[in-house]
Structure 1
Amino acid sequence: MSVIEHLMVPLKDGTRLAARLWLPDGEAHPVPAILEYIPYRKRDGTRGRDEPMHGFFAAHGYAAIRVDMRGSGESEGLLEDEYLVEEQDDALEVIAWIAQQAWCNGHVGMMGKSWGGFNALQVAARRPPALKAIITVCSTDDRFSDDIHYMGGCLLNDNLWWGSIMLAYQGRPPDPALVGEDWRRQWLERLEHMPFWPALWLKHQRRDAYWRHGSVCEDWSAIQCPVFAIGGWADAYTNAVPRLLEHLTVPRLGVIGPWAHIYPQDAAPGPSIGFLQEALRWWDHWLKGADTGIMAEPQLRAFVEDWQAPSTSKPDANGRWVGEPRWPSPAISPRTWHLAPGRLAATPAAPANLSIRSPLWTGMAAGEWMGTGVAGEMPADQRLDDGLSVVFDTAPLAEAVEVLGNPELTLTLSSDLPQGQLAARLCDVAPDGSSLRVSYAVLNLTHRHGSGEPQPMDPGRPETIAVRLKVCGHRFAPGHRIRLSLSSAYWPLVWPARDRATLSLETGASRLVLPCRAANPDEIAPAFAPPARGPATPQTMLMPSHLERTASLDLLSGVATYVTVGEGGLFGEGLLRFDEIDTSVNHSLRRSLTIQADDPLSATSVIDQTYEMGRDGWRIEIETTTSLTAQADGFIIEGTLIARENGDVVHRRNWQRRLARDHL
């Protein structure tokens, strides 16, 4: 293969988008192309990941092209938000441009992880003629219910975290080695027009038109090309995979492994798989018309996890691969457990009333909302939170119970205040009492009937509420117990409700339904090749990353503090130099979240961050601080950004936004 380090894709409005292109050597005829389209800098942001992946495809007869979106990397223009119509329009032009190149035969595939997985679905729904198939990894079909901003109508603290990271990411300048003397003008313009990312998203606290745009679940029929959807149990976006399989009508496949927010060939927790070979089988089938057998695979291949002692660091998962020929699967049927005081019972029990009013720092064992494969981010032993919750256990299981799908709760409860939260956790409890979280959900109770039109609770009036937990695949072993834990807070995962409500649960009519998978002794487990990759980009680690993650409780004040630190590589990658372009990158972030046990308005989140990049004679530093606090009627979100070139401050931004609370 050969690599074209930098080329510009022209758009109709005169803007040009920067691209990196891998081409197969020795091809006498044009070949299909594979597009990845994201804002994370093909030059030095995702270079370490791009090279072995796109190089692999090029070595197998594809033109692989990695395009930076408008206003990112060396692309011209400004990036004003995520998933805009303009972003999709640009992608349509890029695909049409690719299809017209001499090296392309007119057939284009699109793939991506996270943002790239989102826009692969969104662009597919726009039906560009040259787009023949997509692969979407760690993505969502619903931007409100399953993205980094809100969950169950609750504000995720990751909204501030990700918004802060976007300040640093978008604060990076074009590389003068590619752009020339105009780089500084473009950089200053980018900084001057930088949106205050976390405030953009905090303005929209219900599922309004802002979130419905780009949510392909609004019209499944809009997607008319084949879809291959990939997810992982340790990732936050897994719910989309079974929904895509159930609702799309095009040829489609799904794979869910134990992984975090990472491409599966590099995945953690392991086992990783030969994802690039699976992708190649997909592309060869849909872009080259070859019979690779990929469409004879089960519609869903999933890794069903076994018990594993709870640990915040999990390099590998225990379990096995299973295959479901179609989804929803006829091999999966609902099994109901009824809630009784302290028990999950096979038959309904006499009605009882239980009160829930957890300390607001309940949830310190939750781990990260979105796992990225680094140490310390997995949920801890849930006994830390179970003791602050109302808990329901089965008797020790006489035989294994295997679940695959979304657990569902039906609860009859009331609240003494108009607003409140509910967190539900499904756990696997070993004979020694250790508690492993299998699935969970959070619910802003004003969103109990939907997130389009929130409705306050009528204090004291019982209501029946449905709660759908995150999709999971798990085998509860004989002798273990199934546990349901309910709490009225889940900090630091979600921001607390305005009111610290006491919830009253009526157990007689409340129940847990698990999607239980029937045992099949003749089942043949799906098999994957071991991971393969193209040549790695030459790089040197100048300093390994340093990670910290601590939770503490001041027993005098009742203040809980949760701190995460990533130094020299936010996601554990370390301080790196990309040797071919003589460019080093170093990203560090410290996040501190505090809250008192009984005061929702005491919550604070503060994030300090630095991003350094460059080479001798050209050193760039982006420094940001962001914070979030709240009063009864509104949020206060603040931020600063300082940009330096060779140690000198060249730009400074300050933001302060006060945003009304909308049933939050």
Structure 2
Amino acid sequence: MRRVTRWTAPLATAALALTAVPAVHAAPATALATAPAAAPAPGAWRPRPAAYDVATEKDIVLTMSDGTELVADVRRPARGGRPVAGRFPVIVTMTPYNKTLPGANMASDHLVKRGYVQIIVDVRGTGGSRGKWEAFSAREQRDGKEIVEWAASRKRPWSDGRVGMVGASYGGINQLFTAAQRPRGLKALFPVVPMGDAYRDVIGTGGQLGLGFVPFWLAAVGGTSLIPPTYAGRDPRKAQQVLREHFGNIGDFQIRMLLDALAGGEKAFDGPFYRTRSPLEVVDRVNVPTFVVGGEFDIFQRSEPMLYQRLARRVPARFVYGPWYHIDGAAPALGLTLPGTPTPPGPPLADLMLRWFDRYVRDVPDPGLDRDVPPVTYFENGSGKWRSTTQWPPAGVRYRAFQLSKGRTLTPGKGGGGPDAVPYNPFAGLCTRSTIQWAGAGFLKFFGLACEYDNSANDRLGVVYDMPVTRPLRLSGPINAHLTVSSAAKDGQVTVRVEDVAPDGRATQLTAGWQVLSLRALDKDRSDRADGMIVRPWHPFTRRSAKAMPKNRPVPIDVEVFPIAAEIKPGHRLRISVQTADFPHLFPPLPQLGDSVGPGLKIWHDPKNPSWVALPVQP
């Protein structure tokens, strides 16, 4: 993790120099709201006290069905430094970030000290494991099933046959792939900040490449895989072979994938490669209770609510959606404490994990669980309140179309007026919350950049549409920006931000969406509808679906804007801000870049060519 911070530091410096804004801006008080911890009521659930120490058996070899050897650390309840005899429920964690690195290995002393065995496995091609890393490949997914069944086997003298899974980010995603295969012994999951759609969430968001995050992530996996394995001292020959395999894989997978995408090859478009690596494709096969933790400013902000929605139809499920970036949301599952991180009411995440696994892995009756832990807990930006509800989006949400109109206004009435020009600027987005969210997955927040809470400088690089708010306006759910756009170029991109503008002019980005113009084809059957309109558009993003823009002719473009959870206060303005880029978060493949250069776009909003935004309004 320190390595990633160093990589992103130059970007922070560049952002300050290029935007010429103050280096530090205090966060609004509501952005850091932390619910006070209440004393448990008489008879309320309390976490069990620690009863054990932790003893670790390192580098246990697990041989997969294809002969590949993975290595794992087995962390067992202990006393006096020696493992306690007997069988315990098991927690499985799989990481590509090297099981020897504290935090990155997602070790949970909290669970082990309360009577769980934890197995931490280096996924194939990483850490000390053999094989080729290809990020959630079908073979790696098969490994997950085999690891769980190995852990559940009665051949393990420390296992009672019941298994749960825990982990953040990569360690949350592979839980879903594993559970979809229904391995013997698996009882419950606790994925923290998991991805749902590899292409739409992070790699090809809106049809452009997620270069603000993906190269750093690929480099982090490659870099941590070149750390000498802990068995190097006793088996140097094997360690050398493993490191040689890992080094070769960087060129075979990471670099080749990036170059193909930049060149406009198959990896620049959605298809089988990304469908195989998208948990939303298989989540309906998950049949065990699942507790999902997501972030409203996470890199997987889009899919975390979708995963919960699908799971809640079939299994006991919970969802906590906080005002977190990726690192904020993941930190508790990594055993880290980040200062100033908002926390929901009730017990900390470690105790929620314990309670979830005690109930669904150990099968301990917990009649108060449904009362104490609501189906959905989310943070409402603006009001600074944590709210609970029975579903997502919350019950009572109704979609309303707000029209873009003359005078660059936003209105619940009819739109009108001539088109507005949006100048082409490939560096729009640099001074926005998007940079904090996506470039380094939230690490840039530690540099105190003003752009995190004030996008007003960036708003001048495009066009904005404002609506004064006279009564509290609560918004919760996904958004569709249906824009009528024309361009002199064959291609381009439209970025749509939803912002809360304070009386002093500070514009805080609440969420955003992106759409490449040539990939505007809409699959209406897969798009979500509510209240008579499309509220979450689905674009195929395939090479076959691409179609050049007709020169200077207005065409409808539906932009999927990621979910929002916010209240706009009276005296503030709701703003829709539109630009032609979101750099450095997104960067076009080179052929797309060449087709996008031009004077910019026009946004139309007359009765014949309407532009509107479908907003999820709570009563």
User: TM-score of the superposition, structure 1-length normalised?
Assistant: 0.72
> In the TM superposition, what are the counterparts of 1:115-264 in structure 2 within 5 Å?
115-147=170-202, 149-157=203-211, 158-176=213-231, 179-182=234-237, 183-194=239-250, 195-201=252-258, 202=261, 203=265, 204-248=267-311, 249-262=314-327, 263=330
The CA deviation at 1:181 is 2.2
The CA deviation at 1:49 is 5.8
Amino acid at match of 1:303: F
**Distance (whole Å) between structure 1 residues aligned to residue 389 and residue 493 of structure 2:** 35
Query: Can you list the C-alpha shifts for 1:212-268, whole angstroms capped at 9, x where unaligned?
Result: 102132244222222211111232112222111222322221111122223353356
Structure 2 SS opposite 1:146: helix
Structure 1 SS opposite 2:446: coil
Aligned to 1:304: 380
The CA deviation at 1:206 is 0.9
Q: 1:504 aligns with which of 599, 602, 608?
A: 602
Q: Could you tell me whether the CA contact under 8 Å between 2:514 and 2:560 is conserved in 1?
A: no
The CA deviation at 1:376 is 4.1
Moved more, 23-32 or 221-230: 23-32
Aligned to 2:88: 31
Q: Could you tell me whether the CA contact under 8 Å between 1:259 and 1:268 is conserved in 2?
A: no
> In the TM superposition, what are the counterparts of 1:377-388 in structure 2 within 5 Å?
379-388=452-461
Is the alpha carbon distance of 1:196 and 1:87 closer, same or farther for their aligned partners in structure 2, counting shifts above 3 Å? closer
Structure 1 SS opposite 2:509: strand
Q: Could you tell me whether the CA contact under 8 Å between 1:334 and 1:514 is conserved in 2?
A: yes
Aligned to 1:287: 361
Aligned to 2:423: 357
Amino acid at match of 2:584: P
Amino acid at match of 2:115: G
The CA deviation at 1:186 is 2.7
The CA deviation at 1:48 is 4.1
Is the alpha carbon distance of 1:179 and 1:72 closer, same or farther for their aligned partners in structure 2, counting shifts above 3 Å? farther
Q: Are 1:407 and 2:486 counterparts?
A: no
Alignment root-mean-square deviation, CA: 2.2
**Distance (whole Å) between structure 2 residues aligned to residue 189 and residue 22 of structure 1:** 27
Structure 2 SS opposite 1:197: helix
Q: Could you tell me whether the CA contact under 8 Å between 1:95 and 1:108 is conserved in 2?
A: yes
Is the alpha carbon distance of 1:164 and 1:170 closer, same or farther for their aligned partners in structure 2, counting shifts above 3 Å? same
Query: Can you list the C-alpha shifts for 1:461-491, whole angstroms capped at 9, x where unaligned?
Result: 3222221212121121111111111111222
The CA deviation at 1:432 is 0.9
Q: Could you tell me whether the CA contact under 8 Å between 2:225 and 2:243 is conserved in 1?
A: no
Query: Can you list the C-alpha shifts for 1:160-200, whole angstroms capped at 9, x where unaligned?
Result: 33333333223333235565222223323432343351431
The CA deviation at 1:444 is 1.1
**Distance (whole Å) between structure 2 residues aligned to residue 376 and residue 470 of structure 1:** 24
Q: Please, which runs of 5 or more residues in structure 2 have no aligned partner?
A: 1-52, 522-538
Percent identity at matched positions? 27
The CA deviation at 1:380 is 5.0
**Distance (whole Å) between structure 1 residues aligned to residue 502 and residue 215 of structure 2:** 36
User: TM-score of the superposition, structure 2-length normalised?
Assistant: 0.77
Is the alpha carbon distance of 1:179 and 1:384 closer, same or farther for their aligned partners in structure 2, counting shifts above 3 Å? farther
Structure 2 SS opposite 1:122: helix
**Distance (whole Å) between structure 1 residues aligned to residue 462 and residue 339 of structure 2:** 30
**Distance (whole Å) between structure 2 residues aligned to residue 275 and residue 32 of structure 1:** 20
Amino acid at match of 1:244: L
Query: Can you list the C-alpha shifts for 1:363-408, whole angstroms capped at 9, x where unaligned?
Result: 121223121463346635211111111110012x211112221222
Q: 1:324 aligns with which of 364, 384, 389?
A: 389
Aligned to 1:559: none
The CA deviation at 1:330 is 2.1
Q: Could you tell me whether the CA contact under 8 Å between 1:359 and 1:489 is conserved in 2?
A: yes
Is the alpha carbon distance of 1:134 and 1:510 closer, same or farther for their aligned partners in structure 2, counting shifts above 3 Å? same
**Distance (whole Å) between structure 2 residues aligned to residue 267 and residue 256 of structure 1:** 17
Structure 2 SS opposite 1:283: helix
Q: Could you tell me whether the CA contact under 8 Å between 1:162 and 1:198 is conserved in 2?
A: no
The CA deviation at 1:426 is 0.8
Aligned to 1:58: 112
Aligned to 2:121: 67
In the alignment of these two chains, the number of paired residues is 501
**Distance (whole Å) between structure 2 residues aligned to residue 61 and residue 80 of structure 1:** 33
Is the alpha carbon distance of 1:294 and 1:459 closer, same or farther for their aligned partners in structure 2, counting shifts above 3 Å? farther
Q: Comparing both structures, which one devotes a greater share of its residues to helix?
A: 2
**Distance (whole Å) between structure 2 residues aligned to residue 106 and residue 206 of structure 1:** 42
Is the alpha carbon distance of 1:78 and 1:374 closer, same or farther for their aligned partners in structure 2, counting shifts above 3 Å? farther
Structure 1 SS opposite 2:306: helix
Q: Comparing both structures, which one devotes a greater share of its residues to strand?
A: 1
